[in-house]
């Protein structure tokens, strides 16, 4: 193993961890960062540890690769269950932890970037973090701009003993702007943690250079609205509301492309397909890993307010309507409301999530009508707000001395 580690350090290497229990957000964020790093450094390799079952559906640049650990999904009640293996959850977690530890030891990274969970999912990094720390690896915890409401996050991190992991990290990156939201504000942080915090700015999402969707739906030849609930696992309410609006106002709404997301339950998708087939201004797709192209061409975007979609909206400067989920985290609603206050988007709260009330199709229909004429985010976006990838590339430079930076 020592010989393998010596060989692994011939060139600069970064290891990334993305636990991926629900949706596509963590994987897509890791992939975006990895691609930016190898574009900026010609002799750098990046390896992503991921539990996403869809990681093989995405294209990766040269010198970016992945190791897929056995999948685990988070249920709506907060419990976890193995995704594919018919073994107990504890056995699955032990297998994941072993794969992660041995991969880290063999790969011998200069930097280890951990996404969101300080100890990893259910503590699966508790052996790996001290191992890499002892070998001189730079440890970085990367956090999206909003994690949750502070009281709920404090209770969660206390239960997971996450605060004890923070002193191990050399840096903590928040992928947002300090003036918009601090993901760790209000938490009982260990002494000195504030000094490790860096706000990178949001992560821009440029169009993939060499890949485009294989099929462009006919509706994209007009000024269409894109509806995307991200991975789709909790997007049925949003899709139902948009379809209801078209069913009650079939003639005066803009053409609409709905991309369900790969995790929308099949029974929901079948029901939606039956309804959409009767609507002349609606087309649907299940999933496309290059959805950025559809967003860049859209006259407006309707989404739930996840981090990656929010960054795509800012990058491609699309008028946006956010319909955030309220449970099990307040993350999306906090982001949507902050975005609306800044003039970056409009927000519509789902009454069924808020109080169990009925969704009024007229409310959604009105929002869809005005969306294409709404201001673009660039009218309110502050300079440097999308500097996240450039900031990361700059911050990483002192810790990958063998990497050659492109001029």
Give the contacts of 237 (CB within 8 A, at least 6 positions apart).
Answer: 323, 325, 350, 352, 353, 359
- The conformation of residue 73, written as its DSSP 8-state character, comes to E
Q: Does residue 407 sit within a domain?
A: no
- Predicted TM-score (pTM) of the model is 0.90
Cross-strand bridge partners of residue 139: 112
Nearest to 315 by CA among 230, 377, 240: 377
In a domain, 270, yes or no: yes
**Taking 60 as the threshold, does the pLDDT of residue 6 lie above it?**
no
Top-confidence residue, 11 or 340: 340
β-strand partners of 81: 73
177 Cα distance to chain centroid: 17
Are 300 and 335 in the same domain? yes
Alpha-carbon distance 379 to 210, whole Å? Answer: 30
**For residue 366, what are its two tokens?**
């009105």
| Residues 362 and 247 sit within 8 Å (Cβ to Cβ) | no
Q: How far apart (Å, rounded) are the C-alpha atoms in residues 25 and 18?
A: 9
For residue 210, being part of any structural domain is answered with: no
Q: What's the residue count for the chain?
A: 407
Q: What are the C-alpha distances in Å from 121 to residues 50, 98, 282?
A: 11, 13, 39
**Segment among 16-25, 76-85, 173-182, 394-403 with least mean pLDDT:** 76-85
Mean of the pLDDT values across residues 124-141?
A: 97
Kindly state whether residues 149 and 224 are assigned to the same domain.
no
Q: Quick check: is 298 in a domain?
A: yes
Q: Do 168 and 247 belong to one domain?
A: no
DSSP element (H, E) containing 399: none
From CA 125, how far away is CA 109, in angstroms rounded? 15
- Report the alpha-carbon angle 289-391-124, nearest 5: 60
Q: What is the CATH number of the domain that holds 103?
A: 3.40.50.2000
Q: Do residue 47 and residue 170 come from a single domain?
A: yes
Q: Supply 303's token pair.
A: 């989404």
Q: What is the DSSP letter of 263?
A: T
* pLDDT interval class at 78 (50, 70, 90): low
Q: What is the DSSP letter of 121?
A: G
For the chain, give the mean pLDDT.
90
Q: Say what percent of the chain tops pLDDT 70.
A: 92
| 168 and 19 within one domain | yes
Distance CA 98, CA 394 (A): 32
> 404 lies in a domain?
no
Q: What is the pLDDT of residue 98?
A: 96
pLDDT band of 366, cuts 50, 70, 90: very high
DSSP bridge pairs for 171? 140
Which residues constitute the domain of residue 257?
218-379
**Do 195 and 286 fall into the same domain?**
no
Same domain as 313, residue 191? no
Q: Is the confidence at residue 75, as pLDDT, over 70?
A: no
Alpha helices in 221-301 (DSSP H): 236-248, 266-276, 292-297
Structure tokens at 47: 């390896």
Proportion of the chain in helix, strand, coil states, percent, rounded to 5? 40, 15, 45
Report how far residue 145's alpha carbon sits from residue 278's, in angstroms, rounded to the nearest whole number.
Answer: 40
User: What is the rounded average pLDDT of the residues 185-199?
Assistant: 95
Is the pLDDT at 150 greater than 80, yes or no? yes
Domain count, the chain: 2
| 55 and 114 together in one domain | yes
Instruction: Count CB neighbours of 13 within 10 A.
Output: 23
């Amino acid at each position: 193993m020592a010989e393998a580690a010596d060989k692994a350090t011939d060139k600069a290497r970064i290891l990334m961890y993305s636990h991926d229990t629900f949706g596509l957000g963590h994987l897509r964020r890791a992939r975006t960062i990895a691609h930016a790093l190898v574009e900026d450094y010609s002799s750098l390799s990046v390896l992503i540890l991921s539990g996403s079952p869809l990681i093989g559906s995405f294209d990766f640049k040269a010198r970016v690769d992945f190791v897929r650990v056995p999948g685990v999904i988070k249920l709506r009640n907060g419990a976890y269950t193995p995704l594919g293996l018919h073994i107990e959850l504890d056995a699955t977690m032990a297998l994941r932890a072993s794969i992660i530890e041995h991969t880290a030891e063999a790969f011998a990274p200069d930097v280890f970037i951990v996404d969101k969970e300080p100890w990893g999912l259910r503590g699966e990094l508790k052996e790996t973090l001290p191992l890499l720390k002892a070998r001189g690896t730079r440890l970085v915890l990367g956090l999206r701009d909003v994690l949750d409401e502070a009281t709920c996050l404090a209770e969660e991190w206390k239960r997971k003993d996450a605060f004890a992991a923070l002193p191990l990290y050399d840096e903590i990156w928040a992928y947002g702007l300090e003036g918009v939201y601090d993901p760790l504000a209000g938490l009982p942080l260990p002494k000195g943690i504030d000094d490790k915090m860096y706000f990178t700015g949001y992560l821009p999402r440029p169009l993939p250079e060499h890949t485009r969707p294989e099929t462009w739906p006919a509706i994209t030849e007009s000024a269409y609205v894109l509806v995307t609930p991200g991975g789709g696992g909790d997007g049925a309410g949003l899709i139902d509301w948009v379809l209801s609006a078209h069913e009650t106002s079939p003639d005066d709404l803009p053409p609409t492309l709905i991309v369900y997301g790969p995790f929308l339950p099949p029974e929901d998708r079948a029901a939606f397909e039956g309804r959409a087939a009767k609507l002349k201004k609606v087309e649907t797709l299940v999933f496309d890993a290059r959805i950025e192209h559809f967003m860049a061409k859209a006259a407006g975007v309707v989404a739930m307010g996840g981090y990656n979609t929010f960054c795509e909206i800012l990058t491609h400067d699309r008028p946006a309507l956010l319909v955030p989920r309220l449970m099990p985290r307040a993350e999306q609603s906090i982001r949507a409301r902050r975005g609306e206050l800044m003039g970056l988007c409009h927000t519509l709260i789902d009454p069924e999530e808020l109080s169990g009330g009925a969704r009024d199709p007229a409310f959604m229909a009105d929002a869809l009508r005005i969306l294409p004429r709404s201001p673009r985010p660039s009218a309110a976006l502050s300079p440097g707000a999308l500097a996240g990838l450039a900031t990361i590339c700059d911050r990483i430079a002192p810790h990958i001395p063998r990497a050659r930076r492109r001029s």
